[in-house]
C-alpha cells in the first residue's frame, strides 16, 4: 500500500563548518527517502540549519564578522555538503528565514495557555548544548557531551509544563505510537521519563542572547529558546504558519520520520511530542537514532574541533565512496571510527575490486562476443533480506544483501571461465551473460537508494546496445 512519507534530519548549529558526523545523518536520511520513492510512496526529505543559537553569535564575534553574515556563510557550507553527497532533499530550511519565524510564533500561540508560565529559575547551563542540566545528569560534574563544567545561570524565563505530559508520553513511546529506534534508545527514553519529567524553560532573556533569536510573541524582552525554535522547522518548512499545504505531509495518516543523533533524542522524543500535544498537532511516527562517528576513539564534533571535512572528502573520493563507507563501516545505531585508511581499504575491496571489477569483466565479455541489448523489465525483485534491512534502518545489512550478488557473480565467472566460450559456443556464452547481466541490473536497481550515482552508471552501461567495455567504475583510493 502506497503512503505519504516525510523524512527529516536534525538541523545542526552553524557555529562552524560541517563535520563528517552530520554527513552520516544526511546519508542515512537520504537512503530512507530514496527507498521510499523507489517503492512508490509520495515522499519528502527535508534538512536545513539551526541559526538562532547564541553559540553562533559567539562564533561570529570570535571571527570578527556580523552574525548574519557568519551564519549565511556556514549555512551555505551545509547546503553544499548535502549537494556534494548527492542528497535528494526537497527543501533546505534556515531558521533565520521569515517563514520559519512565522511558524515558531504560531506554535507558541497555539500552546495551551495553562502549559506556559513565567518564573525565576536557577540552573546549570551548558553553552555548547544550549541546554540546562540537573546535577544527576552530569558526569563528574561535567557536561556529558562536551566535557566542560556548566555555568550557574539565574534568570526569569517562560516555562512549559512538560510534567503534565509525563504519563501520556510514556504510553505513546511504550506502545510505539512514537516508535524510537533502536530498542536501546527507546529504553533510554522510557528511563528518562520514568525518573520524572520537570517543566522546561522555553525562553531566554534577549539581553543574554545578544538580541539574536526569535522574540517571544508579545514579549520582546525574551527570545524563544533555540531548541524549541529549532524543532518547529519540521513543520515550518512545510508551510506551517504561512500556508495550509503543510498538512499534506504532517497529518495523522502520513508517516513522519526524524533521523537524529543520540545526543538529541530528549528534544525529539520528549520535548517535541509534548509541544505538539499541547498545540493539538499530529505526532511524529518514528525517531531513528544513530550513534557518533569517532576519530581515534574520540567523538567528532564542531565544538571539539573536527579534523575530517566531509565536503573535502566527498570532492576527493566521490560521493559514493564516502556514502558507502558511512553506510557499510559505521554501525547504523552505534558509534563507529572513521579513518582515511579504513575508507581506502573498504572502498577498494568492495567498490573498485568488487562491483567495479564485476561490471568491467561482464561489459568486456559483451563487447568481445558481440552481445547486443539486455532488455530488462523493471522493477526486478529485491534481493533476499534487502527490504527488511532497509525498513529496519540496518543499512549495512542492506548493502551486504546486494554484495552477496557481487561475490556470487565473480565466483561463477571464475568457475565457468566464459572467455573460453567463443565461436561455436557463442550462444551458450550469451545465455550465461543474459543471466549474469540481469542479476547485476537487479543489484544496480536496488542500489539506487544507497549509492545513487553508481546505480545510475551501472544501469546506463547495461542499457547500451550493444554493450561495450567500460572505464573503471570506481577509482582506487591510495
* pLDDT of amino acid 126: 76
Q: Give the number of other Cβ atoms within 10 Å of residue 315's Cβ.
A: 13
**Element containing residue 328 per DSSP (H, E):** helix 319-328
Q: Where are the beta strands (DSSP E) in 50-171?
A: 91-94, 116-126, 131-133, 151-160
Q: Does 358 share its domain with 408?
A: yes
Kind and range of the H or E element at 431?
Answer: helix 426-447
Show the beta-strand stretches assigned E in 26-168.
Answer: 42-49, 91-94, 116-126, 131-133, 151-160
Domain CATH code at residue 344: 1.10.730.10
292 & 441 share domain: no
Flag residues of the chain having pLDDT under 50.
304-305
Domain contains 328: no
Asked, for residue 327, whether it belongs to a domain, the answer is: no
Q: What is the pLDDT of residue 220?
A: 95
The upper half-sphere exposure of residue 458, i.e. CA atoms within 13 Å in the direction of its Cβ, equals 29
Total domains in the fold of the chain: 2
CA distances from 162 to 118, 133, 204, 262, 265 (A): 14, 15, 17, 21, 15
CATH code of residue 129: 3.40.50.620
Residue 230 lies in a domain: yes
pLDDT in tens, 272-289: 999 999 999 999 999 999
Task: Note whether 87 and 170 are same-domain residues.
Answer: yes
Round to whole Å and give the CA distance between 225 and 201: 8
Rounded to 10°, the helix 20-38/67-84 angle is 50
Q: What pTM was estimated for this model as a whole?
A: 0.93
Structural domain boundaries enclosing 402: 340-462
Distance of CA 296 to CAs 55, 78, 341, 348, Å?
A: 27, 24, 12, 21
Instruction: Identify the pLDDT of residue 66.
Output: 96
Q: What backbone phi and psi angles, to 5 degrees, belong to 8?
A: -135, 155
Amino acid at each position: 500500500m502506497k503512503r505519504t512519507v516525510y523524512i527529516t534530519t536534525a538541523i545542526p548549529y552553524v557555529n562552524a563548518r560541517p563535520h563528517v558526523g552530520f554527513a552520516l545523518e544526511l546519508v542515512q536520511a537520504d537512503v530512507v527517502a530514496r527507498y521510499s520513492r523507489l517503492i512508490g510512496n509520495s515522499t519528502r526529505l527535508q534538512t536545513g540549519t539551526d541559526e538562532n543559537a547564541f553559540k553562533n553569535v559567539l562564533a561570529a564575534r570570535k571571527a570578527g564578522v556580523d552574525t548574519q553574515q557568519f551564519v549565511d556563510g556556514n549555512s551555505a557550507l551545509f547546503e553544499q555538503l548535502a549537494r556534494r553527497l548527492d542528497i535528494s532533499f526537497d527543501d533546505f530550511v534556515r531558521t533565520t528565514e521569515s517563514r520559519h519565524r512565522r511558524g515558531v510564533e504560531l506554535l507558541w500561540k497555539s500552546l495551551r495557555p495553562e502549559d506556559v508560565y513565567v518564573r525565576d529559575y536557577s540552573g546549570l547551563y551548558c553553552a555548547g548544548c544550549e541546554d540546562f542540566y540537573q546535577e544527576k545528569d552530569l558526569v563528574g560534574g561535567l557536561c556529558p557531551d562536551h566535557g566542560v563544567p556548566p555555568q550557574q545561570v539565574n534568570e526569569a524565563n517562560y516555562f512549559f509544563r512538560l510534567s503534565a505530559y509525563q504519563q501520556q508520553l510514556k504510553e505513546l513511546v511504550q506502545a510505539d505510537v512514537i516508535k524510537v529506534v533502536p530498542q536501546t534508545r527507546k529504553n533510554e527514553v522510557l528511563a528518562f521519563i520514568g525518573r520524572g519529567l520537570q517543566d522546561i524553560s522555553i525562553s531566554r532573556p534577549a539581553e543574554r542572547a545578544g538580541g539574536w533569536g526569535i522574540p517571544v510573541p508579545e514579549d520582546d524582552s525574551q527570545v524563544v529558546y533555540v531548541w524549541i525554535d529549532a524543532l518547529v522547522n519540521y513543520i515550518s518548512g512545510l508551510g506551517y504558519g504561512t500556508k495550509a499545504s503543510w498538512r499534506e505531509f504532517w497529518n495523522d495518516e502520513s508517516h513522519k520520520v526524524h533521523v537524529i543523533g543520540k545526543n538529541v533524542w530528549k528534544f525529539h522524543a520528549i520535548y517535541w511530542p509534548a509541544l505538539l500535544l499541547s498545540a493539538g498537532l499530529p505526532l511524529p511516527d518514528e525517531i531513528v537514532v544513530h550513534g557518533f562517528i569517532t576519530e581515534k576513539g574520540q567523538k567528532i564534533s564542531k565544538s571539539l574541533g573536527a579534523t575530517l571535512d566531509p565536503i573535502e572528502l566527498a570532492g576527493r573520493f566521490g560521493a559514493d565512496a564516502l556514502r558507502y563507507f558511512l553506510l557499510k563501516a559505521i554501525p547504523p545505531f552505534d558509534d563507529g571510527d572513521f579513518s582515511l585508511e579504513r575508507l581506502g581499504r573498504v572502498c577498494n575491496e568492495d567498490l573498485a575490486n568488487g562491483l567495479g571489477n564485476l561490471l568491467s569483466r561482464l561489459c568486456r565479455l559483451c563487447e568481445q562476443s558481440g552481445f547486443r541489448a539486455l532488455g530488462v523489465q523493471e522493477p526486478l525483485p529485491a534481493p533476499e533480506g534487502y527490504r527488511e534491512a532497509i525498513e529496519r534502518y540496518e543499512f549495512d545489512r542492506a548493502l551486504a544483501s546486494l554484495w552477496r550478488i557481487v561475490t556470487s557473480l565473480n565466483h561463477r565467472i571464475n568457475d565457468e571461465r566464459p572467455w573460453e566460450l567463443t565461436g561455436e559456443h557463442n550462444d551458450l556464452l550469451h545465455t550465461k551473460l543474459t543471466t549474469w547481466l540481469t542479476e547485476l541490473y537487479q543489484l544496480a536497481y536496488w542500489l539506487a537508494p544507497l549509492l545513487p550515482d553508481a546505480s545510475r552508471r551501472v544501469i546506463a552501461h547495461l542499457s547500451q546496445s550493444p554493450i561495450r567495455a567500460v572505464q573503471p567504475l570506481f577509482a582506487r583510493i591510495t
